[in-house]
Amino acid sequence: MNTQPLPSVFISHGSPMIALEPGAAGVFLKTLGHAIDKTFDRPRAIVVASAHTTAREPVVLAGPQHEAIYDFGNFDARLNEMRYDAPGSPEVAAEVAGLLKNAKLPVHLINEGGLDHGIWTVLRYIYPAADIAIVPVAFVPTHGPAQQFALGQALAPLRSEGVLVLGTGSITHNLRRVFAGGFGSQSNVPEIAESAQFREWIRDKGAAGDWASLADYRRLAPHAADMHPTDEHLLPWFVAAGAGGMQSPAIRLHDSVTHGVLGMDAYAFGPEAPTLERALH
């Protein structure tokens, strides 16, 4: 058995439509699970922080079984027929709660299940059999990047125990721009300059391991308020980064854009990230 720790990973899910329109990001996600399994062994569980599961204090969902939650409206009705009935893990959930308590973070453990669309739409590509235990962790959306780093750092020991720490959101997320032309707007239009500049700033600062600048992204990054009118879709990036340990740079595994402005980038964190990058190429 490969005892090498798993890297932590951030995935951009964009909008729920990724489940029906995989695009370049979906093609990448179909290769990601195979690369993880081949290189690090199959995870025994996935602990995930999603932009759509938030609370006033961290909450760990310890339910033994999950179903897909259809937490969206005005999208293709076929989405409501899709399922992702994955197991939960009360045992891993208790481990997570213990780690947060040890880090002096408030935490609530609840015996409930359910996977928001930021989770199930991407996991349908990464692990389509829905046979790996999932433990969602609700983060506090009013907490800034530094606090999300700390949440991720508390989860870091899980990587050495066969647990994949996953963040899911979007590297850019301004739905007003996405749907300016209506819900049927074209997904393959050229990327706007503001999106490209923001995504490249994140990539460059991540590659340099400039965590201080990244934590202050709303002030320093170009077009930050435009690309993220609110923080919640980027905050899981910082959770995943914290879990990676931040002694190593962030590595962008994938970059693509839909609707000209919705970034679909994926990142890996931790000393093991380069190994995953090589496995994907």
pLDDT band for position 183 (cuts 50, 70, 90): very low
Decide: 106 and 153 in contact? Cβ < 8 Å.
no
**What gap in Å lies between CA 1 and CA 119, rounded to an integer?**
28
Is 3 inside a domain boundary?
no
3-class state of residue 161 by DSSP: helix
Mean of pLDDT over the chain: 95
Residue 234: pLDDT above 70?
Answer: yes
**Mean pLDDT in residue range 25-35:** 97
Longest dimension (CA), the chain: 51
Cα-Cα-Cα-Cα dihedral sign, residues 133, 31, 270, 261: negative
Residue 57: pLDDT above 70?
Answer: yes
3-class state of residue 108 by DSSP: strand
Decide: 223 and 252 in contact? Cβ < 8 Å.
no
Is 2 inside a domain boundary?
no
Is 268 inside a domain boundary?
yes
Q: Please count the structural domains in the chain.
A: 1
**What gap in Å lies between CA 249 and CA 210, rounded to an integer?**
8
Element (H, E) at 59: strand 59-61
Alpha helices in the chain (DSSP H): 23-40, 90-102, 117-126, 145-155, 175-178, 193-207, 211-215, 217-220, 224-227, 235-244, 273-279
What local confidence, expressed as pLDDT, does residue 1 receive?
44
**What gap in Å lies between CA 164 and CA 79, rounded to an integer?**
26
pLDDT band for position 2 (cuts 50, 70, 90): low
37-46, 175-184, 262-271: lowest mean pLDDT where? 175-184
Q: Which positions ≥6 away from 181 have C-beta within 8 Å?
A: none
pLDDT in tens, 147-175: 999 999 999 999 999 999 999 999 999 98
Is 59 inside a domain boundary?
yes
Residue 264: pLDDT above 50?
Answer: yes
Is 34 inside a domain boundary?
yes
pLDDT in tens, 98-137: 999 999 999 999 999 999 999 999 999 999 999 999 999 9
Is 1 inside a domain boundary?
no
What local confidence, expressed as pLDDT, does residue 186 receive?
63
Note the Cα 4 to chain centre separation in Å: 22
Decide: 123 and 79 in contact? Cβ < 8 Å.
no
Buried b (16+ CB within 10 A) or exposed e, 69-89: beebeebeeebeeeebebebb
Is 261 inside a domain boundary?
yes
Domain residue limits at 21: 8-279
Decide: 185 and 75 in contact? Cβ < 8 Å.
no
**What gap in Å lies between CA 223 and CA 238, rounded to an integer?**
19
For residue 54, the domain's CATH number is 3.40.830.10
**Mean pLDDT in residue range 235-263:** 96
